A and B are shown apart, each in its own frame.
Chain A
Amino acid sequence: MTLSPRDPHRLLAGLQREGVRLDLSTLDVCFLVALHLRADQDGLASFDEELVFDVFEQVCDLVEPGLENSRRRATHTIQRLRGQRMLARVDATGIVSAGEYALTNLATVIIKTFLDDEQLTRESLALLTGAVISSLGQIHTAAQRASDNAVWRSEVVSPLRITVGDLVGGIERRQRGLDGQQEEVQRQVGELLQADWFGAVEQCQGLLELMAGTLQELNEVLLRDSSHIQALLQEIQRAAATVGATEAEEAAQRVGEQVDRMAAWGASRQQAWSGYYQYVHRFLRDVVRLDPDRALSQRLLDQIRNWPSRPFAMIVAAEDRIWLLRSVSARGERPPVSRLREDRETELIAVAGENHEVDLEQLVQEALQEGHVELAAVTRSVLSRIPAAEHYRSTGLIAAIVAKSSTPRSELERPWIVVTNAVEIEDWAIEVALGRRAR
């Protein structure tokens, strides 16, 4: 046994595709209500066209007096209400024919919402919860005896959905009615105080007490009965789960969710009302009773108006930082601040020195002895015997040694001679001293 779940996406898409909408003016609602009342009064199941037009005209006289062309307007309104599935045009055989109209279920629900004073009272709630418990008891018995799918469907699923679902729905509807009543009481309290300041105290307190009492009683009934209802629903769910009656299990679960919502409503409303109740009581005690003539408001009004010409200001404490004292402790030996000693000296490592020192003096002397008479030739000869990295540094030294051991012959323009690939020098002609050459 499986329940075909209603896919909300498909449902919503369908509604969107059909362009479903409700658009009711005050005149429309009054017209529907008037039809409903007439049906009640005369015991009518449907209305002939003339009656519908008559009712519309009467409603127009009340709601929009002076409306011209009311018959045409009536035709238009009827058409619109039919389009919104509020009014159906029918005849006795079910075939569309002229002149017979009836209110649809949708219209009836809307009318009842406006007409029925569905307040939740202790009696009505106790009656409804009692009816739910009684129905669930029967369903529970049926669930224990159910032998096949047909029995599960007819004696468990349907009663759960229709009977119990409707009863719980009825409680929820009345809860909404009570919400409206709360708002009304709040409005009344405000209006009473506005109209008769001190004289309204007793009436306000009466209203508050009445509402608080109602909420408390309702909450008590809800707390007591909802646990009983939930226990029965769990029994039904368990029985359904045992035989794999998924549809019944799901129906019981849905009702359980409704009951949870119902119980949560009671607690939340009682809490909210408690806050309001306390506020109004404080107001009545601290403001209304202490200022029975309501002179304080007027004097405060004058004070504000005169404040710019005679400003004063209230003083408040403003210690935004307070000293936090340390907890008391006996003064003892405090260990000195220290940390582990470590040798920060790095170990010395013996590294073999690079000895690129070349005896340039000797090499220059040898080059001179070879008979070179130009600095470039001497330099070329010396550089050819030392590493390339030393060429640049040595070039200057060679020139210094040559200058020291010989005499350069000056020329006006001394040529630059390429010595190696990387070195080019200004050349001198040199004259080597004989004694030195011999040495």
Chain B
Amino acid sequence: MSNRFASLQEVIQDAMFPGVDVALRRGRHIDREDGDWYAFITDAQEHLEQLYRRYGCELVMQSDGYFYLLPTGDSLSRRHLNAGEMLVGQTFALQYLDPSTVQSGGMVTREHLLTRLAGLVDERELAKALEPRRKRFDDERIVHDIIRRRVAEAIRRLASLGFVEVLDEDHVRLRSPLLRFADPIRGLSDISVAMERLIAKGEIVDLDANDDSANGDGGEREEDLDKENENGDDESVDDEESEA
């Protein structure tokens, strides 16, 4: 533990605190690539853990080299990722583990992601998971359109959470927080046991056990976010990223 900060007051007075604090509260994962932000949290970790504990949150540090805030009480709002974000996130994680991605320095294309995703989940099943309220998936064109649209939306949201970095229209850079998607299968224990443990810790939620969640929209909180995103209200997230 660095002695850069002697007290919480010094941490809060640091110029970096507001940006880091807002980012963490918005669900942003902060990793080594965030440079100064990561160094700031590492140096102030002890004080920040105490601070966020008072809000009923846990400042989690993973050995893969990233931090995030996990609300365990009711003081801070939380949400769970929707079906699109989960499927895209897991596929990105799979690509992150692939040695062929190393050659490009962790950069993948959207096209590559779609191909990979289509290879893992049947297209109609995928479209149904992405848009559970729709009844008919007969038209192949509509299925493709749903997948493209929902995947693009998921990438944007995952980028705002710090899982990936959108470089341009086609390219995305994978970041270490993606390994969080592999948490249920990290240990040697059975996946069911691992999931029970993660559910108990409040890290994940079982969508089957949650009717509201099972519809794939993630409840009221997420619908609000959907509206915001439809209105293009993502500027704050972009600002954070540029600061990072």
Contact = CB atoms under 8 A, between A and B. Distances in A.
A314 B25 contact: no
B121 A314 contact: no
A316 interface: yes
A323 B14 CA distance: 19
10 contacts: A186-B105, A296-B182, A312-B204, A313-B85, A313-B218, A315-B78, A317-B24, A317-B27, A318-B79, A319-B76
B50 interface: no
A242 interface: no
A417 interface: no
B100 A194 contact: yes
A276 B208 CA distance: 41
A256 to B, nearest CB: 34
Lowest 4 A-B CB distances belong to which pairs?
A190-B103, A193-B99, A316-B27, A299-B185
Interface residues of B, number: 72
Contact of B76 (A186, A189, A282, A317): A317
A196 to B, nearest CB: 10
B120 interface: yes
A99 to B, nearest CB: 50
Contact of B81 (A302, A314, A317): A314
A300 interface: yes
B24 A310 contact: no
Contacts of B82: 313
B97 A320 contact: no
Contact of A279 (B77, B85, B106): B106
B145 interface: no
A304 interface: yes
B70 A317 contact: yes
Interface string B221-232: 100010010000
Nearest to A272: B105
Interface in A175-199: 186-187, 189-190, 193-194, 197
- Give the interface SS of chain B, mostly helix, strand, loop or mixed: helix
Nearest to A303: B185
A279 B105 contact: yes
Which of B87, B94, B161 has the most CB atoms of chain A within a 10 A radius of its CB?
Answer: B94
B186 A296 contact: yes
Interface in A273-313: 275-276, 278-280, 282-283, 286-287, 290-291, 296-297, 299-305, 307-308, 310-313
B148 interface: no
Nearest to B202: A315
A278 B236 CA distance: 28
B77 A319 contact: yes
Contact of B225 (A307, A314, A318): A318
Contacts of B183: 314
B205 A313 contact: yes
A312 B206 contact: yes
B87 A304 contact: yes
B184 A303 contact: yes
Nearest to B66: A286
A300 B82 CA distance: 18
A35 B120 CA distance: 52
Contacts of B78: 315-318
Which of A290, A297, A310 has the most CB atoms of chain B within a 10 A radius of its CB?
Answer: A297
Contacts of B69: 317
A313 B99 contact: no
B79 A315 contact: yes
A340 B16 CA distance: 46
Interface in B191-244: 191, 195, 199, 202-208, 213-214, 218, 221, 225, 228, 236
A189 B202 CA distance: 38
B191 A303 contact: yes
A410 to B, nearest CB: 82
B83 interface: yes
Contact of A275 (B26, B63, B105, B161): B105
A286 B64 contact: yes
Interface in B75-99: 76-83, 85-87, 89-91, 93-94, 96-99
Interface in B1-40: 21-22, 24-27, 32
Interface in A158-188: 186-187
Contacts of B195: 312
Contact of A282 (B32, B103, B205): B32
A322 interface: yes
A307 B94 contact: no
A280 to B, nearest CB: 6
Interface stretch (B41-49, B133-141, B173-181): B173-181
B167 interface: no
Contact of A300 (B22, B90, B106, B207): B90
A308 B123 CA distance: 12
B186 A304 contact: no
A189 B121 CA distance: 30
Contacts of A322: 21-22, 25
A189 B70 CA distance: 36
B102 A283 contact: yes
B208 A318 contact: no
Contact of B27 (A190, A301, A303, A318): A318
Contacts of A189: 102-103
A171 to B, nearest CB: 26
Interface string A311-344: 1111111111010000000000000000000000
Contact of A314 (B98, B191, B204): B204
Contact of B129 (A308, A310, A312): A308
